[in-house]
Structure 1
Amino acid sequence: MATLSLTQFLSLDGVYQAPGGPDEDRSDGFGQGGWSVPYGDEDFGRFMDGVFRRPSAFLLGRRTYEIFAGHWPRQTDPANPVASKLNALPKYVASRTLEKADWAGTTVLGGDVIAEVTALKEGTDGEVQMHGSGGLARTLLAHDLIDTLHLLVFPVVLGEGHRLFADGARPTAFRHVEGSTTGSGIAIHTYELAGRPEYGSYA
Protein backbone atom coordinates (compact mmCIF):
# COMPACT_ATOMS: atom_id res chain seq x y z
CA MET A 1 0.00 0.00 0.00
CA ALA A 2 1.33 3.41 -0.98
CA THR A 3 1.78 6.39 1.27
CA LEU A 4 0.26 9.65 0.06
CA SER A 5 2.33 12.79 0.51
CA LEU A 6 1.43 16.43 -0.06
CA THR A 7 4.01 19.07 -0.94
CA GLN A 8 2.37 22.45 -0.46
CA PHE A 9 3.62 26.04 -0.67
CA LEU A 10 2.05 28.28 1.98
CA SER A 11 2.25 31.92 3.00
CA LEU A 12 2.71 32.72 6.68
CA ASP A 13 -1.06 33.15 6.95
CA GLY A 14 -1.70 29.76 5.37
CA VAL A 15 -2.61 30.73 1.79
CA TYR A 16 -1.82 28.21 -0.95
CA GLN A 17 -3.47 29.98 -3.88
CA ALA A 18 -1.45 30.75 -7.04
CA PRO A 19 2.11 30.59 -5.68
CA GLY A 20 3.77 30.23 -9.09
CA GLY A 21 2.35 32.97 -11.30
CA PRO A 22 -0.17 35.82 -11.61
CA ASP A 23 -2.63 33.81 -13.72
CA GLU A 24 -2.46 30.43 -11.97
CA ASP A 25 -5.63 31.02 -10.00
CA ARG A 26 -7.50 34.32 -9.92
CA SER A 27 -10.66 32.80 -8.39
CA ASP A 28 -12.49 34.94 -5.84
CA GLY A 29 -10.61 37.97 -7.15
CA PHE A 30 -7.18 36.86 -5.94
CA GLY A 31 -4.60 39.28 -7.35
CA GLN A 32 -1.32 38.26 -5.69
CA GLY A 33 -0.36 35.23 -7.78
CA GLY A 34 3.34 34.48 -8.03
CA TRP A 35 4.13 35.27 -4.40
CA SER A 36 6.52 32.32 -3.95
CA VAL A 37 8.73 33.06 -6.95
CA PRO A 38 11.11 35.64 -5.39
CA TYR A 39 12.20 33.07 -2.78
CA GLY A 40 13.19 30.27 -5.16
CA ASP A 41 16.87 29.82 -4.33
CA GLU A 42 19.28 26.86 -4.66
CA ASP A 43 18.26 25.38 -1.30
CA PHE A 44 14.65 25.35 -2.45
CA GLY A 45 15.63 23.74 -5.74
CA ARG A 46 17.61 20.99 -4.01
CA PHE A 47 14.71 20.15 -1.73
CA MET A 48 12.25 19.95 -4.60
CA ASP A 49 14.64 17.82 -6.67
CA GLY A 50 14.87 15.44 -3.73
CA VAL A 51 11.10 15.20 -3.43
CA PHE A 52 10.78 14.32 -7.10
CA ARG A 53 13.28 11.48 -6.84
CA ARG A 54 10.88 9.42 -4.71
CA PRO A 55 7.43 9.08 -6.31
CA SER A 56 5.85 6.06 -7.93
CA ALA A 57 2.79 8.05 -9.10
CA PHE A 58 1.17 11.49 -8.86
CA LEU A 59 -2.29 12.58 -7.72
CA LEU A 60 -3.41 16.09 -8.70
CA GLY A 61 -6.46 18.30 -8.54
CA ARG A 62 -7.84 19.59 -11.83
CA ARG A 63 -6.41 23.11 -11.64
CA THR A 64 -2.92 21.95 -10.70
CA TYR A 65 -3.09 19.22 -13.34
CA GLU A 66 -3.92 21.76 -16.04
CA ILE A 67 -1.06 24.04 -14.95
CA PHE A 68 1.39 21.12 -14.97
CA ALA A 69 0.08 19.69 -18.25
CA GLY A 70 0.55 23.06 -19.92
CA HIS A 71 4.24 23.16 -19.01
CA TRP A 72 5.98 19.88 -18.17
CA PRO A 73 5.31 17.82 -21.33
CA ARG A 74 7.42 20.37 -23.22
CA GLN A 75 10.37 19.88 -20.84
CA THR A 76 12.26 16.93 -22.31
CA ASP A 77 15.71 17.11 -20.67
CA PRO A 78 16.22 13.64 -19.13
CA ALA A 79 18.49 15.19 -16.49
CA ASN A 80 15.61 17.28 -15.13
CA PRO A 81 14.35 15.23 -12.17
CA VAL A 82 10.98 17.00 -12.07
CA ALA A 83 10.14 16.74 -15.75
CA SER A 84 11.44 13.20 -16.14
CA LYS A 85 9.27 11.88 -13.30
CA LEU A 86 6.15 13.87 -14.17
CA ASN A 87 6.28 12.81 -17.81
CA ALA A 88 7.13 9.15 -17.22
CA LEU A 89 5.11 8.10 -14.16
CA PRO A 90 1.36 7.45 -13.83
CA LYS A 91 -0.70 10.52 -13.09
CA TYR A 92 -4.19 10.63 -11.60
CA VAL A 93 -6.34 13.75 -11.73
CA ALA A 94 -9.40 14.05 -9.50
CA SER A 95 -12.09 15.96 -11.36
CA ARG A 96 -15.80 15.72 -12.07
CA THR A 97 -15.59 18.23 -14.92
CA LEU A 98 -12.54 17.02 -16.87
CA GLU A 99 -13.75 14.60 -19.52
CA LYS A 100 -10.35 13.56 -20.88
CA ALA A 101 -6.68 14.08 -20.13
CA ASP A 102 -4.23 14.36 -23.03
CA TRP A 103 -1.02 14.19 -21.00
CA ALA A 104 0.39 10.70 -21.53
CA GLY A 105 -0.07 8.37 -18.58
CA THR A 106 -2.98 10.27 -17.03
CA THR A 107 -6.13 8.69 -15.59
CA VAL A 108 -9.14 10.82 -14.64
CA LEU A 109 -10.74 9.95 -11.28
CA GLY A 110 -14.27 11.22 -11.80
CA GLY A 111 -16.26 9.32 -9.22
CA ASP A 112 -16.28 9.26 -5.41
CA VAL A 113 -12.90 10.84 -4.72
CA ILE A 114 -12.54 9.30 -1.26
CA ALA A 115 -13.22 5.79 -2.55
CA GLU A 116 -11.03 6.26 -5.62
CA VAL A 117 -8.05 7.67 -3.71
CA THR A 118 -8.36 4.92 -1.10
CA ALA A 119 -8.29 2.35 -3.90
CA LEU A 120 -5.34 4.11 -5.54
CA LYS A 121 -3.34 3.94 -2.33
CA GLU A 122 -4.24 0.29 -1.79
CA GLY A 123 -3.32 -0.67 -5.35
CA THR A 124 -0.01 1.22 -5.57
CA ASP A 125 3.38 0.62 -3.99
CA GLY A 126 5.79 3.31 -2.86
CA GLU A 127 4.83 6.97 -2.63
CA VAL A 128 1.98 8.72 -4.40
CA GLN A 129 2.72 12.44 -4.46
CA MET A 130 0.39 15.41 -4.46
CA HIS A 131 1.72 18.85 -5.34
CA GLY A 132 -0.40 21.94 -4.79
CA SER A 133 -3.99 20.80 -5.42
CA GLY A 134 -5.14 22.61 -2.30
CA GLY A 135 -8.88 21.98 -2.72
CA LEU A 136 -8.35 18.25 -3.19
CA ALA A 137 -5.88 18.24 -0.31
CA ARG A 138 -8.45 19.75 2.05
CA THR A 139 -10.94 17.04 1.12
CA LEU A 140 -8.41 14.24 1.65
CA LEU A 141 -7.12 15.72 4.92
CA ALA A 142 -10.67 15.61 6.24
CA HIS A 143 -10.62 11.83 5.73
CA ASP A 144 -7.07 11.14 7.04
CA LEU A 145 -5.91 10.05 3.58
CA ILE A 146 -2.73 12.15 3.45
CA ASP A 147 0.08 10.44 5.36
CA THR A 148 2.87 13.02 5.02
CA LEU A 149 2.87 16.80 4.70
CA HIS A 150 5.81 18.75 3.29
CA LEU A 151 4.84 22.34 4.09
CA LEU A 152 7.04 25.04 2.59
CA VAL A 153 6.18 28.23 4.47
CA PHE A 154 7.28 31.40 2.70
CA PRO A 155 8.03 34.58 4.70
CA VAL A 156 5.14 36.60 3.32
CA VAL A 157 1.63 37.46 4.58
CA LEU A 158 -1.00 37.85 1.86
CA GLY A 159 -4.15 38.67 3.81
CA GLU A 160 -6.42 36.96 1.26
CA GLY A 161 -6.71 33.76 -0.70
CA HIS A 162 -7.59 30.12 -0.22
CA ARG A 163 -6.13 28.53 2.91
CA LEU A 164 -5.10 24.92 3.40
CA PHE A 165 -6.39 24.77 6.97
CA ALA A 166 -9.56 26.81 6.84
CA ASP A 167 -12.23 27.15 9.53
CA GLY A 168 -13.94 23.81 9.92
CA ALA A 169 -10.86 21.71 9.13
CA ARG A 170 -10.85 18.33 10.89
CA PRO A 171 -8.88 18.43 14.16
CA THR A 172 -5.78 16.36 13.40
CA ALA A 173 -2.44 15.74 15.10
CA PHE A 174 0.84 15.33 13.23
CA ARG A 175 4.39 14.36 14.17
CA HIS A 176 7.14 16.76 13.10
CA VAL A 177 9.86 14.59 11.55
CA GLU A 178 12.14 17.00 9.69
CA GLY A 179 12.75 20.71 9.28
CA SER A 180 15.10 23.14 7.56
CA THR A 181 15.25 26.73 6.36
CA THR A 182 16.48 27.91 2.97
CA GLY A 183 18.79 30.84 2.48
CA SER A 184 15.87 32.95 1.27
CA GLY A 185 13.84 32.17 4.40
CA ILE A 186 11.47 29.38 3.33
CA ALA A 187 10.77 27.19 6.38
CA ILE A 188 10.42 23.58 5.20
CA HIS A 189 8.68 21.24 7.62
CA THR A 190 7.73 17.58 7.19
CA TYR A 191 4.92 16.08 9.27
CA GLU A 192 3.46 12.59 9.50
CA LEU A 193 -0.16 11.87 10.34
CA ALA A 194 -0.55 10.97 14.02
CA GLY A 195 -4.33 10.88 14.54
CA ARG A 196 -6.56 13.03 16.71
CA PRO A 197 -5.24 15.82 18.94
CA GLU A 198 -4.75 15.34 22.65
CA TYR A 199 -5.68 18.07 25.12
CA GLY A 200 -4.60 19.24 28.53
CA SER A 201 -4.43 22.27 30.79
CA TYR A 202 -1.62 24.45 32.11
CA ALA A 203 -3.71 25.30 35.17
Structure 2
Amino acid sequence: MGRIVISENVTLDGVVEDPTGEEGFSRGGWFLRMSDKDRAAWAEMELAEARATEALLLGRRSDEWFAARWLSRGGAWADRLNSLPKYVVSATVQEPEWSSATGFRGKVLPGDVVEEVSALKEELDGDIVVYASIRLAHALLEHDLVDELRLTVFPVVLGAGRRLFDRTSTSRPLRLVTTRTVGDGLAFLTYRPDEDSI
Protein backbone atom coordinates (compact mmCIF):
# COMPACT_ATOMS: atom_id res chain seq x y z
CA MET A 1 0.00 0.00 0.00
CA GLY A 2 1.24 3.48 -0.83
CA ARG A 3 1.87 6.28 1.62
CA ILE A 4 1.02 9.90 0.87
CA VAL A 5 3.94 12.12 1.89
CA ILE A 6 3.68 15.91 1.75
CA SER A 7 7.17 17.35 1.36
CA GLU A 8 7.24 21.13 1.62
CA ASN A 9 9.59 24.04 2.09
CA VAL A 10 8.02 26.43 4.60
CA THR A 11 8.95 29.61 6.42
CA LEU A 12 9.13 29.66 10.20
CA ASP A 13 5.55 30.97 10.27
CA GLY A 14 4.31 28.27 7.88
CA VAL A 15 4.15 30.24 4.62
CA VAL A 16 4.57 28.20 1.42
CA GLU A 17 3.57 30.86 -1.10
CA ASP A 18 5.94 31.96 -3.87
CA PRO A 19 9.22 30.55 -2.54
CA THR A 20 11.22 31.54 -5.63
CA GLY A 21 9.62 34.96 -6.13
CA GLU A 22 8.18 34.13 -9.58
CA GLU A 23 4.50 34.46 -8.69
CA GLY A 24 4.37 38.17 -7.87
CA PHE A 25 3.81 37.84 -4.12
CA SER A 26 5.37 40.91 -2.50
CA ARG A 27 7.17 38.77 0.10
CA GLY A 28 8.14 35.98 -2.29
CA GLY A 29 11.65 34.75 -2.94
CA TRP A 30 12.30 33.60 0.62
CA PHE A 31 13.66 30.23 -0.58
CA LEU A 32 16.51 31.99 -2.39
CA ARG A 33 17.88 33.54 0.82
CA MET A 34 19.69 30.39 1.96
CA SER A 35 23.47 30.12 2.01
CA ASP A 36 25.44 28.02 -0.47
CA LYS A 37 26.15 25.49 2.28
CA ASP A 38 22.44 25.23 3.13
CA ARG A 39 21.56 24.89 -0.57
CA ALA A 40 24.05 22.04 -1.08
CA ALA A 41 22.79 20.18 2.02
CA TRP A 42 19.17 20.76 0.99
CA ALA A 43 19.83 19.43 -2.54
CA GLU A 44 21.54 16.34 -1.13
CA MET A 45 18.54 15.68 1.14
CA GLU A 46 16.11 16.18 -1.76
CA LEU A 47 18.04 13.73 -3.95
CA ALA A 48 17.88 11.11 -1.20
CA GLU A 49 14.13 11.67 -0.91
CA ALA A 50 13.65 11.37 -4.68
CA ARG A 51 15.58 8.09 -4.74
CA ALA A 52 13.21 6.66 -2.10
CA THR A 53 10.06 7.86 -3.87
CA GLU A 54 7.73 5.60 -5.86
CA ALA A 55 5.68 8.32 -7.59
CA LEU A 56 4.81 12.03 -7.50
CA LEU A 57 1.31 13.37 -6.87
CA LEU A 58 0.77 16.95 -8.03
CA GLY A 59 -1.84 19.56 -8.72
CA ARG A 60 -2.14 20.90 -12.27
CA ARG A 61 -0.27 24.17 -11.69
CA SER A 62 2.61 22.44 -9.92
CA ASP A 63 2.83 19.88 -12.71
CA GLU A 64 3.18 22.72 -15.25
CA TRP A 65 5.70 24.59 -13.08
CA PHE A 66 7.95 21.57 -12.56
CA ALA A 67 7.71 20.47 -16.21
CA ALA A 68 8.91 23.87 -17.41
CA ARG A 69 11.96 23.71 -15.15
CA TRP A 70 12.97 20.06 -14.80
CA LEU A 71 12.48 18.37 -18.16
CA SER A 72 15.51 20.14 -19.65
CA ARG A 73 17.80 19.49 -16.67
CA GLY A 74 20.35 16.72 -16.29
CA GLY A 75 22.20 15.13 -13.40
CA ALA A 76 21.27 12.51 -10.83
CA TRP A 77 18.52 14.50 -9.12
CA ALA A 78 16.85 15.69 -12.34
CA ASP A 79 17.16 12.24 -13.90
CA ARG A 80 15.45 10.67 -10.90
CA LEU A 81 12.64 13.23 -10.72
CA ASN A 82 12.05 13.12 -14.47
CA SER A 83 11.88 9.32 -14.44
CA LEU A 84 9.28 9.05 -11.68
CA PRO A 85 5.64 8.32 -12.54
CA LYS A 86 3.51 11.47 -12.16
CA TYR A 87 -0.13 11.55 -11.08
CA VAL A 88 -1.87 14.90 -11.51
CA VAL A 89 -5.14 15.85 -9.84
CA SER A 90 -7.05 17.99 -12.35
CA ALA A 91 -10.45 18.30 -13.98
CA THR A 92 -9.11 20.44 -16.83
CA VAL A 93 -6.15 18.60 -18.42
CA GLN A 94 -5.89 15.27 -20.25
CA GLU A 95 -2.20 14.47 -19.65
CA PRO A 96 0.47 15.60 -17.22
CA GLU A 97 2.97 18.12 -18.60
CA TRP A 98 5.87 16.68 -16.61
CA SER A 99 6.34 13.43 -18.47
CA SER A 100 8.40 10.50 -17.32
CA ALA A 101 11.64 9.66 -19.05
CA THR A 102 10.85 5.96 -18.58
CA GLY A 103 7.96 6.06 -21.04
CA PHE A 104 5.22 6.32 -18.40
CA ARG A 105 3.52 9.51 -19.52
CA GLY A 106 1.70 9.92 -16.26
CA LYS A 107 -1.92 9.86 -15.35
CA VAL A 108 -4.49 12.52 -14.65
CA LEU A 109 -6.83 11.86 -11.73
CA PRO A 110 -9.94 13.79 -12.83
CA GLY A 111 -12.50 12.60 -10.29
CA ASP A 112 -13.14 13.18 -6.62
CA VAL A 113 -9.79 13.79 -4.87
CA VAL A 114 -10.60 11.54 -1.92
CA GLU A 115 -11.67 8.62 -4.10
CA GLU A 116 -8.85 9.02 -6.63
CA VAL A 117 -6.07 9.33 -4.06
CA SER A 118 -7.47 6.51 -1.92
CA ALA A 119 -7.45 4.27 -5.00
CA LEU A 120 -3.90 5.37 -5.87
CA LYS A 121 -2.73 4.44 -2.37
CA GLU A 122 -4.19 0.96 -2.90
CA GLU A 123 -2.62 0.64 -6.36
CA LEU A 124 0.97 1.65 -5.53
CA ASP A 125 3.50 0.56 -2.94
CA GLY A 126 5.94 2.99 -1.36
CA ASP A 127 6.04 6.76 -0.94
CA ILE A 128 3.81 8.92 -3.15
CA VAL A 129 5.30 12.37 -2.63
CA VAL A 130 3.45 15.67 -3.01
CA TYR A 131 5.60 18.70 -3.86
CA ALA A 132 4.17 22.24 -3.81
CA SER A 133 0.48 21.71 -4.85
CA ILE A 134 -0.91 23.63 -1.87
CA ARG A 135 -4.60 23.30 -2.77
CA LEU A 136 -4.09 19.55 -3.16
CA ALA A 137 -2.17 19.39 0.13
CA HIS A 138 -5.05 21.18 1.89
CA ALA A 139 -7.56 18.65 0.50
CA LEU A 140 -5.39 15.68 1.48
CA LEU A 141 -4.90 17.03 5.00
CA GLU A 142 -8.60 17.82 5.35
CA HIS A 143 -9.57 14.25 4.46
CA ASP A 144 -6.89 12.53 6.57
CA LEU A 145 -5.12 11.05 3.53
CA VAL A 146 -1.64 12.18 4.58
CA ASP A 147 0.61 9.55 6.10
CA GLU A 148 3.64 11.78 6.63
CA LEU A 149 4.62 15.45 6.55
CA ARG A 150 8.21 16.41 5.73
CA LEU A 151 8.84 20.07 6.37
CA THR A 152 12.05 21.92 5.59
CA VAL A 153 11.79 25.08 7.68
CA PHE A 154 13.53 28.23 6.44
CA PRO A 155 14.60 30.74 9.12
CA VAL A 156 12.47 33.63 7.95
CA VAL A 157 9.14 35.03 9.18
CA LEU A 158 7.03 36.64 6.45
CA GLY A 159 3.94 37.60 8.44
CA ALA A 160 1.67 37.08 5.43
CA GLY A 161 1.08 34.61 2.62
CA ARG A 162 -0.63 31.29 1.98
CA ARG A 163 0.19 28.76 4.64
CA LEU A 164 0.30 24.99 4.54
CA PHE A 165 -2.23 24.68 7.35
CA ASP A 166 -4.62 27.49 6.39
CA ARG A 167 -7.68 25.39 5.78
CA THR A 168 -8.28 22.65 8.29
CA SER A 169 -11.77 22.32 9.71
CA THR A 170 -10.63 20.49 12.84
CA SER A 171 -7.42 20.07 14.79
CA ARG A 172 -5.09 17.34 13.56
CA PRO A 173 -2.79 15.84 16.20
CA LEU A 174 0.63 14.98 14.80
CA ARG A 175 3.62 13.12 16.23
CA LEU A 176 7.18 14.35 15.64
CA VAL A 177 9.18 11.45 14.17
CA THR A 178 12.52 13.03 13.25
CA THR A 179 14.25 16.36 13.39
CA ARG A 180 17.63 17.43 12.06
CA THR A 181 19.57 20.46 10.93
CA VAL A 182 20.21 20.84 7.20
CA GLY A 183 23.31 22.88 6.47
CA ASP A 184 23.66 25.65 9.05
CA GLY A 185 20.27 27.30 8.94
CA LEU A 186 17.49 24.92 7.87
CA ALA A 187 15.49 22.54 10.05
CA PHE A 188 14.00 19.33 8.69
CA LEU A 189 10.99 18.00 10.60
CA THR A 190 9.03 14.81 9.95
CA TYR A 191 5.56 14.32 11.39
CA ARG A 192 3.00 11.54 11.18
CA PRO A 193 -0.63 11.50 12.31
CA ASP A 194 -0.86 10.71 16.01
CA GLU A 195 -3.44 7.95 15.99
CA ASP A 196 -3.38 7.69 19.80
CA SER A 197 -4.66 11.28 20.14
CA ILE A 198 -7.61 10.92 17.77
TM-score, with normalisation over the residues of structure 2? 0.88
Contact 1:2 1:126 in 2 (8 A): yes
- Cα drift, residue 170 of structure 1: 3.0
Q: State how far apart, in whole Å, the 2-side matches of 1:137 and 1:196 are.
A: 23
8 Å Cα contact 1:174/1:193 also seen in 2: yes
* 1:141–1:170 CA contact under 8 A, matched in 2: no
- Structure 2 portions without partners, runs of 5+: 100-104
Alpha-carbon separation, structure 1, partners of 2:108 and 2:89: 6
1:20-169 equivalences in 2 (<5 Å):
21-23=20-22, 25-26=23-24, 30-39=25-34, 40-77=38-75, 80-81=76-77, 83-104=78-99, 105-166=105-166, 168-169=168-169
- Deviation of 1:53 (Å): 1.1
Look up the SS of the partner of 1:151 in the other structure: strand
2: CA distance between counterparts of 1:42 and 1:87?
20
Structure with the bigger percentage of helix: 2
Cross-structure match for 2:2: 2
**2:16, 2:44 → 1: CA distance?**
21
Q: Secondary structure at the match of 1:159?
A: coil
Letter in 1 for 2:39: D
Separation in structure 2 between the aligned mates of residue 157 and residue 164 of structure 1, nearest angstrom: 14
User: Identity percentage over the alignment?
Assistant: 39
Deviations 1:115-148 (A, max 9, x none): 0000001100111111111111011001111101
TM-score, L = length of structure 1 = 0.86
Pairwise CA distance, 1:167: 5.4
Letter in 2 for 1:109: L
CA distance in 1 between partners of 2:49 and 2:65 (Å) = 19
Number of aligned residue pairs: give it.
190
Partner amino acid, structure 2, of 1:57: A
CA contact (8 A) 2:138 2:168 kept: no
Query: Structure 1: where are the runs of 5+ without partners?
Result: 199-203
Between the aligned partners of 1:163 and 1:152, the Cα distance in structure 2 is: 14
